[in-house]
């Protein structure tokens, strides 16, 4: 029987870590039970493993007992890493034994799946250099600063590359679990687990949940001033040429510095700031789409809809219907 190992961090974790551990365990055990019910052998042994016999969470409010010590596991087929605390550098330091064991197992052929901020553990081990990955949208800026060699995809809910799966975060780890059930069991088992746990199947984006605040931790004063200007001129149509001229920087150099600092081109950043403001208006007011569009500097409804959909994954009308029930009434 093959083995799936769910890691239990010893500290440097939160109640979200517990949710990831328990949720992963329950979904996989249900997948095993489904196979047994249809007359097939259970394909995987599911175990919780760590560096101690039990781990405490939230100042001892909850404890999770492990079934094995990682030192005693010579081979496993899949390792699932739950979310970690927001002090990522501290989490990396505190979970060094787990990180090193994960790296060794990956070299030995194991696949890896990280949930939410568990991605930081994979990145700190150098396993994501040059690869695409996802993490919680609120951790994207910190992740880019710590791991510039990794190709972060902040809009993605799930990435799958070279035997490493990563997940956008929050309770969307359940979507990752359904994805893994389809990979490791089959489509029918994934559909069954989706229905039993009422988890949406085939969801691929976290764009609709993202709150764009802009990367501000970079230390480039000129770019910070440009960001502040963009954010203060929501109702205006701003060209990159005007921006670079305003700060007396050549267009090419301006673009290069802006992308390096924020992870977005000046145009992408401007679009994201404007659409974030539009989202707030659609969530909290009864303004119609045209009114919102004009307030954020768009005059062409088709262009506004296209940019809105590109960033959020839905149309302005769909977004308002989802997040503003009063406006619908």
41-83: pLDDT as tens digits: 999 999 999 998 988 888 788 889 999 999 999 999 999 999 9
How open is the CA angle 153-81-199, to the nearest 5 degrees?
Answer: 70
Say how far apart CA 220 and CA 255 lie, in whole Å.
13
What's the full length of the chain, in residues? Answer: 329
- Which part of the chain has CATH 1.10.10.60? 221-328
pLDDT digits (tens, 9 = 90+) for 112-160: 999 999 999 999 999 999 999 999 988 888 888 889 999 998 888 999 9
Return the CATH architecture of domain 2-209. 3-Layer(aba) Sandwich (3.40)
Cross-strand pairs, 69:
50
pLDDT digits (tens, 9 = 90+) for 79-98: 999 998 767 666 566 578 89
Secondary-structure percent of the chain, ordered helix, strand, coil, rounded to 5: 55, 15, 35
- Cα 181 to Cα 26, 43, 54, distances in angstroms: 12, 11, 27
Quick one: pLDDT at residue 88?
Answer: 67
Say how far apart CA 248 and CA 323 lie, in whole Å.
41
Higher confidence at residue 181 or residue 95? 181
Confidence of residue 205 (pLDDT cuts 50, 70, 90): confident
Quick one: pLDDT at residue 260?
Answer: 87
Least confidently predicted of 25-34, 208-217, 251-260, 305-314: 208-217
- Cα 213 to Cα 105, 137, 216, 229, 316, distances in angstroms: 37, 10, 8, 14, 20
User: CA-CA-CA-CA torsion for 173, 175, 178, 183, nearest 10 degrees?
Assistant: -90
- Which part of the chain has CATH 3.40.50.880? 2-209
Could you tell me which CATH number the domain at 221-328 has?
1.10.10.60
Q: How many CB atoms lie within 10 A of CB 107?
A: 9
Say how far apart CA 91 and CA 9 lie, in whole Å.
9
pTM to 2 decimals?
A: 0.73
């Amino acid at each position: 029987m093959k083995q799936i190992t769910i890691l239990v961090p010893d500290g440097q974790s939160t109640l979200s870590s517990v949710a990831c551990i328990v949720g992963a365990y329950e979904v996989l055990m249900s997948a095993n039970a489904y196979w047994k019910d249809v007359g097939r052998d259970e394909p995987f042994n599911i175990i919780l493993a760590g560096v101690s016999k039990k781990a405490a969470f939230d100042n001892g409010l909850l404890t999770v007992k492990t079934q094995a010590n990682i030192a005693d596991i010579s081979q496993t087929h899949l390792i699932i890493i739950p979310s970690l605390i927001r002090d990522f550098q501290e989490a990396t330091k505190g979970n060094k034994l787990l990180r090193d064991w994960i790296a060794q197992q990956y070299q030995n052929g194991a696949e890896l799946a990280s949930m939410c901020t568990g991605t930081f553990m994979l990145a700190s081990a150098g396993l994501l250099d040059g690869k695409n990955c996802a993490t919680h949208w609120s951790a994207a800026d910190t992740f880019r600063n710590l791991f510039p060699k990794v190709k972060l995809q902040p809009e993605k809910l799930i990435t799958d590359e070279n035997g490493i799966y990563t997940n956008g975060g929050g309770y969307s780890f359940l979507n990752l679990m359904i994805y893994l059930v389809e990979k490791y069991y089959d489509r029918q088992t994934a559909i069954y687990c989706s229905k039993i746990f009422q988890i949406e199947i085939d969801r691929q984006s976290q764009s609709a949940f993202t709150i764009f605040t802009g990367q501000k931790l970079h230390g480039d004063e000129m770019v910070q001033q440009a960001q502040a200007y963009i954010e203060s001129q929501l109702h205006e149509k701003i060209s990159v040429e005007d921006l670079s001229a305003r700060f007396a920087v050549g267009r090419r150099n301006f673009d290069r510095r802006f992308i390096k600092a924020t992870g977005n081109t000046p145009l992408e950043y401007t679009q994201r700031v404007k659409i974030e403001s539009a989202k707030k208006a659609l969530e909290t007011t009864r303004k119609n789409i045209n009114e919102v569009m004009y307030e954020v500097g768009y005059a062409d409804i088709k262009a506004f809809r296209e940019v809105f959909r590109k960033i959020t994954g839905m149309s302005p009308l769909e977004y308002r219907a989802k997040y503003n029930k009063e406006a619908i009434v």
